[in-house]
């Protein structure tokens, strides 16, 4: 059955096939002719009709931009607002000679070449019929100048629009962040329909983290236009829905104290409301003025910001990673108590150095000659290194890692900002994986005093301090308190879930007592801030080594370069018996935690608690 070729009449088949192919070909020609007839009808007979339709009766869908939400601090002061400005916009489609128009505008309004270049780039990205801005934030004189000659510039017009403004500039540059023009990369990821008429998008800080909420929903209008694309009538309008207003937990007064307190030092300050986790201050110095970014920063200023050794664009509070130094000691002491490797009353002898068995290397104490015989309280108050070398050794690195991890070291705090760093909490496993090396006992020692591999961000330090003050109830830092619509109702409170580190109350109290003594006892390293307050502050100073001192040398602050001087750190919370606020301060190359970092924290605490006690007094 399969091969019966022999039976086939090849010639007959050829004939059938050839005739069918011919019929198919005729059919194809006929149908193609049909298509042609229709094309002739559309393109010749109907040409005028369709050409008129194409030209005259455009119904354009114009997107209406939503108003960006306003950002307030905890007392309702505006941190980011929208102010009306005028811009000069061009519609390329309606301009016959673009080069000539630009040249005349440049002469009239003295526009720098750079702006023209920027505009040319922007124009290529947009469609020919969209209105694209050449000048933003025109001053009154420019507006008047152009208004007088407007008829000579078809396709060019002045548009009023709202522009983002940050009244506190420098102070909020990192935390509130700023918006900038949408770039090509962002254009691909943002929902196109929503951003058709929006030119700006959050770039850093709250502006970036809450872009979706702040932006709102764009509306649209169906507009009938004539052949010159001038609007004839609006057929239907759907109003845009403004973005949500954000109420932050940030207090701009505290933010100011924090930023200005750092004074000549680069560094960061983070203050947290212990009861809610609301961030009261999150300052990184140096900052920068965010406002130029909104309307297009000029290249020179931007280059300076990018290349400055002080890295003003770098958010140290969120992304700066520092050795915690002695600020880690209260946590280490608590670990020792919890793992029962130490008793708070046990005394140890500090000769000024520590040696591992059979090792020549001397792990030195910061105090030449040592602290003598001391127990835990004195070891924390005087920040004895030898005490904590021994403690770390008895705990072992794995216990240290496990305990500190619960306080949030080595992981992101989960704050509502983008780009937070994790810091580094070393362990045997980490070292094997990251460096492919085994762990040495000497490394456990220096981990015990907050040196070595350990790195923390100022935010992590503040969070851990707040959690300690909270007696193990973990504090989750956040910046946005609530979202509200333009009528200030319909608030959306943020979800709060709290985890607890199980801790023995007397262990915590022992450590807190020592931290109180750091501030209030006569030998405390931060006693300068104890004057004139009717409550108690618990704190701990720290000094983080930047520069390694050789075995037989002594660290001499005056002798070495500023850039190699130690970082000054301080953590604190107050009032000690009913903690309200936790603060962490890092002053880069500040030298001593007690003299440089502690006073900044002291000022913030005073200001915050002074206000709340004033308020409660007023209420009574």
Partner 1 sequence: MQVETRSEQFDRHSIIGRLLTKLHLDIPLLLGLVLISALSYLILYSAGGQDMKILNRQAVRSGIAFILMMVLAHINPYQFKRYSVLLYSIGVFLLIAVLVMGEIGKGAQRWLDLGLFRFQPSEMIKITTPMMVAWYLSIDSLPPKWKQLGGAGLLILMPTLLIAKQPDLGTALLVASSGAAAIFFAGLSWRFISVVVVTLASLTPVLWHFMRDYQRDRVLTFLNPEADPMGRGYHIIQSKIAIGSGGIYGKGWQGSTQAQLDFLPESSTDFIFAVFAEEFGLSGCLTLLVLYVAIISRCLYIAVQAQDTYTRLLAGSLGFTFFVYVFVNIGMVIGILPVVGVPLPLISYGGTSMVTLLAGFGILMSIHTHRKFLPT
Which amino acids are annotated catalytic? 326
In the complex, least distance from residue 2 CB atom to partner 1, rounded to whole angstroms:
6
- Which phi and psi angles does 155 have, rounded to 5°? 85, 0
Nearest to partner 1 of 62, 241 (CB atom):
62
Determine, following the binding rule CB under 8 A, whether residue 2 of this chain makes contact with partner 1: yes
**How is residue 340 written in tokens?**
């029962």
Question: Candidates 30-38, 132-140, 431-439, 511-519 — which segment interacts with partner 1 by CB under 8 A?
Answer: 30-38
H-only helix segments in 231-384: 252-262, 291-294, 299-307, 316-319, 329-338, 376-381
Q: Which of 75, 128, 150, 368 binds partner 1 (CB under 8 A)?
A: 128
Question: Candidates 12-20, 65-73, 113-121, 333-341 — which segment interacts with partner 1 by CB under 8 A?
Answer: 12-20
Nearest to partner 1 of 8, 559 (CB atom):
8
Q: Which of 11, 35, 160, 615 binds partner 1 (CB under 8 A)?
A: 35
Determine, following the binding rule CB under 8 A, whether residue 39 of this chain makes contact with partner 1: yes
In the complex, least distance from residue 25 CB atom to partner 1, rounded to whole angstroms:
6
3-state secondary structure 353-388: EECCCCCCCCEECCCCCCCEEECHHHHHHCCCHHHH
Burial of 513 from C-beta contacts in 10 A (0-12 / 13-18 / 19+): middle
| CA-atom Rg of the chain in angstroms | 35
Cβ(386)–Cβ(371) below 8 Å: yes
DSSP 75: T
Q: Which of 130, 287, 96 is nearest to 204 (CA)?
A: 287
In the complex, least distance from residue 44 CB atom to partner 1, rounded to whole angstroms:
6
Q: What angle do CA 220, 224, 228 make, to 5 degrees?
A: 115
**How is residue 619 written in tokens?**
């209420």
Cβ(423)–Cβ(586) below 8 Å: no
In the complex, least distance from residue 615 CB atom to partner 1, rounded to whole angstroms:
58
In the complex, least distance from residue 131 CB atom to partner 1, rounded to whole angstroms:
14
Determine, following the binding rule CB under 8 A, whether residue 16 of this chain makes contact with partner 1: yes
Determine, following the binding rule CB under 8 A, whether residue 499 of this chain makes contact with partner 1: no
Polymer length of the chain:
620
Nearest to partner 1 of 21, 83 (CB atom):
21
Nearest to partner 1 of 5, 309 (CB atom):
5
Residue 339 CA to residue 299 CA, distance in Å, equals 57
Determine, following the binding rule CB under 8 A, whether residue 31 of this chain makes contact with partner 1: yes
**How is residue 13 written in tokens?**
């088949």
Residue 553 CA to residue 363 CA, distance in Å, equals 13
In the complex, least distance from residue 24 CB atom to partner 1, rounded to whole angstroms:
6
In the complex, least distance from residue 167 CB atom to partner 1, rounded to whole angstroms:
40
How would you label 24-50 residue by residue, b for 16+ Cβ within 10 Å and e otherwise? eeeeeeeeeeeeeeeeeeeeeeeeeee
Determine, following the binding rule CB under 8 A, whether residue 26 of this chain makes contact with partner 1: no
Q: Which of 75, 83, 114, 129 binds partner 1 (CB under 8 A)?
A: 129
Helix 458-469 to helix 505-520 angle (10° resolution) is 120
The SS3 of residue 511 is helix
Question: Candidates 29-37, 154-162, 290-298, 344-352 — which segment interacts with partner 1 by CB under 8 A?
Answer: 29-37
Determine, following the binding rule CB under 8 A, whether residue 193 of this chain makes contact with partner 1: no
Determine, following the binding rule CB under 8 A, whether residue 152 of this chain makes contact with partner 1: no
HSE, side-chain direction, 13 A CA sphere, residue 149: 11
Size of the site for partner 1 (CB under 8 A): 40
**How is residue 514 written in tokens?**
């020592």
Mask for 433-472, x = binds partner 1 (CB under 8 A):
----------------------------------------
Q: Which of 36, 159, 301, 346 binds partner 1 (CB under 8 A)?
A: 36
HSE, side-chain direction, 13 A CA sphere, residue 370: 14
Mask for 73-112, x = binds partner 1 (CB under 8 A):
----------------------------------------
Cβ(149)–Cβ(161) below 8 Å: no
Determine, following the binding rule CB under 8 A, whether residue 349 of this chain makes contact with partner 1: no
In the complex, least distance from residue 235 CB atom to partner 1, rounded to whole angstroms:
10
Determine, following the binding rule CB under 8 A, whether residue 32 of this chain makes contact with partner 1: yes
Question: Candidates 1-9, 77-85, 277-285, 499-507 — which segment interacts with partner 1 by CB under 8 A?
Answer: 1-9
List binders of partner 1 among 41-60 (CB under 8 A): 42-44, 46-47, 49-51, 53-55, 58
Contacts of 212 (CB under 8 A, 6+ apart): none
In the complex, least distance from residue 51 CB atom to partner 1, rounded to whole angstroms:
4
| Percentages (nearest 5) of helix, strand, coil residues in the chain | 40, 20, 40
Nearest to partner 1 of 8, 617 (CB atom):
8
Nearest to partner 1 of 47, 150 (CB atom):
47
Q: What angle do CA 162, 164, 170 make, to 5 degrees?
A: 155
Determine, following the binding rule CB under 8 A, whether residue 500 of this chain makes contact with partner 1: no
Q: Which of 283, 275, 206 is nearest to 245 (CA)?
A: 206
Nearest to partner 1 of 13, 298 (CB atom):
13
In the complex, least distance from residue 17 CB atom to partner 1, rounded to whole angstroms:
5
In the complex, least distance from residue 18 CB atom to partner 1, rounded to whole angstroms:
6
Nearest to partner 1 of 129, 152 (CB atom):
129
Question: Candidates 102-110, 124-132, 166-174, 491-499 — which segment interacts with partner 1 by CB under 8 A?
Answer: 124-132
Question: Per DSSP, what are the bridge partners of residue 353?
Answer: 364
The SS3 of residue 285 is strand
The SS3 of residue 503 is coil
Residue 538 CA to residue 574 CA, distance in Å, equals 6
Determine, following the binding rule CB under 8 A, whether residue 12 of this chain makes contact with partner 1: yes
Determine, following the binding rule CB under 8 A, whether residue 38 of this chain makes contact with partner 1: yes
Q: Which of 421, 422, 443, 420 is nearest to 431 (CA)?
A: 443
Determine, following the binding rule CB under 8 A, whether residue 185 of this chain makes contact with partner 1: no
Could you tell me how far CA 291 lies from the centroid of its own chain?
A: 17
Cβ(539)–Cβ(515) below 8 Å: yes
**How is residue 207 written in tokens?**
């502006």
Name the strand (E) or helix (H) holding 221.
Answer: strand 219-225
Nearest to partner 1 of 14, 355 (CB atom):
14
In the complex, least distance from residue 199 CB atom to partner 1, rounded to whole angstroms:
19
Nearest to partner 1 of 8, 531 (CB atom):
8
Determine, following the binding rule CB under 8 A, whether residue 361 of this chain makes contact with partner 1: no
Binding site for partner 1 (CB under 8 A): 1-2, 4, 7-9, 12-13, 16-18, 20-21, 24-25, 28-29, 31-32, 34-36, 38-40, 42-44, 46-47, 49-51, 53-55, 58, 127-129
């Amino acid at each position: 059955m399969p091969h019966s070729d022999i039976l086939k009449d090849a010639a007959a088949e050829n004939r059938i096939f050839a005739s069918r192919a011919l019929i198919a070909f005729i059919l194809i020609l006929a149908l193609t002719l049909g298509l042609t007839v229709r094309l002739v009808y559309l393109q010749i007979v109907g040409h005028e009709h369709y050409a008129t339709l194409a030209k005259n009766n455009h119904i354009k869908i114009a997107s209406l931009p939503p108003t960006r939400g306003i950002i307030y601090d905890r007392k309702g002061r505006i941190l980011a607002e929208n102010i009306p400005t005028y811009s000069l916009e061009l519609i390329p489609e309606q301009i016959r000679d673009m080069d000539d128009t630009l040249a005349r505008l440049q002469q009239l309004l003295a526009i720098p070449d750079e702006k023209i270049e920027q505009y040319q780039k922007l124009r290529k990205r947009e469609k020919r019929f969209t209105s694209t801005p050449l000048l933003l934030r025109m001053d009154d004189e420019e507006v008047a100048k152009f208004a007088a000659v407007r008829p000579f510039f078809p396709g060019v017009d002045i548009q009023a629009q709202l522009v983002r403004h940050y009244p506190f500039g420098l102070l909020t540059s990192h935390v509130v962040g700023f918006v900038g023009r949408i770039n090509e990369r962002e254009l691909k990821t943002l929902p196109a329909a929503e951003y058709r008429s929006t030119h700006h998008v959050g770039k850093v800080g709250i502006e970036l983290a809450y872009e979706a909420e702040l932006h709102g929903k764009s509306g649209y209008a169906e507009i009938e236009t004539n052949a010159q694309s001038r609007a004839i009538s609006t057929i239907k309008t759907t109003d845009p829905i403004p973005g949500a207003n954000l109420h932050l937990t940030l207090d701009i007064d505290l933010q100011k104290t924090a930023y200005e307190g750092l004074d000549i030092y680069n560094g960061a300050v983070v203050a947290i409301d212990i009861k809610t986790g609301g961030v009261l201050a999150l300052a990184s110095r140096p900052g920068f003025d965010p406002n130029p970014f909104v309307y297009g920063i000029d290249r020179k200023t931007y280059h300076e910001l990018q290349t400055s050794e002080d890295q003003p664009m770098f958010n140290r509070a969120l992304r700066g990673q520092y050795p915690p130094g002695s600020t880690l000691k209260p946590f280490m002491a608590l670990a020792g108590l919890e793992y029962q490797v130490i008793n708070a009353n046990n005394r140890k002898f500090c000769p000024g150095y520590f040696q591992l068995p059979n090792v020549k290397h001397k792990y030195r104490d910061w105090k030449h000659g040592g602290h003598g015989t001391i127990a835990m309280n004195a070891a924390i108050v005087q920040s004895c290194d030898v005490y904590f070398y021994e403690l770390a050794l008895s705990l072992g690195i794995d216990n240290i890692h496990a305990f500190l991890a619960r306080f949030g070291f080595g992981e992101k705090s989960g704050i509502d900002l983008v780009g937070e760093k994790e810091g580094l909490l070393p362990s045997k496993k980490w070292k094997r994986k990251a460096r492919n090396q085994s762990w040495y006992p000497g490394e456990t020692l220096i981990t015990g005093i907050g040196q070595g591999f350990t790195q923390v961000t100022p935010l992590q330090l503040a969070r851990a301090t707040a959690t300690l003050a909270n007696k193990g109830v973990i504090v989750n830092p956040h910046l946005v308190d609530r979202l509200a619509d333009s009528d200030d109702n319909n608030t959306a409170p943020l979800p709060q879930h709290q985890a607890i580190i199980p801790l023995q109350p007397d262990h915590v109290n022992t450590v807190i007592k020592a931290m109180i003594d750091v501030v209030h006892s006569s030998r405390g390293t931060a006693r300068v801030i104890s004057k004139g307050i009717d409550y108690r502050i618990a704190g701990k100073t720290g000094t983080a080594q930047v520069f390694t001192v050789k075995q037989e040398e002594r660290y001499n602050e005056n002798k070495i370069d500023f850039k190699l001087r130690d970082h000054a750190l301080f953590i604190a919370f107050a009032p000690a018996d009913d903690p309200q606020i936790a603060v962490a301060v890092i002053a880069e190359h500040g030298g001593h935690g007690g003299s440089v970092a502690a006073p900044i924290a002291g000022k913030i605490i005073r200001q915050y608690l002074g206000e709340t006690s004033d308020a409660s007094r007023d209420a009574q």
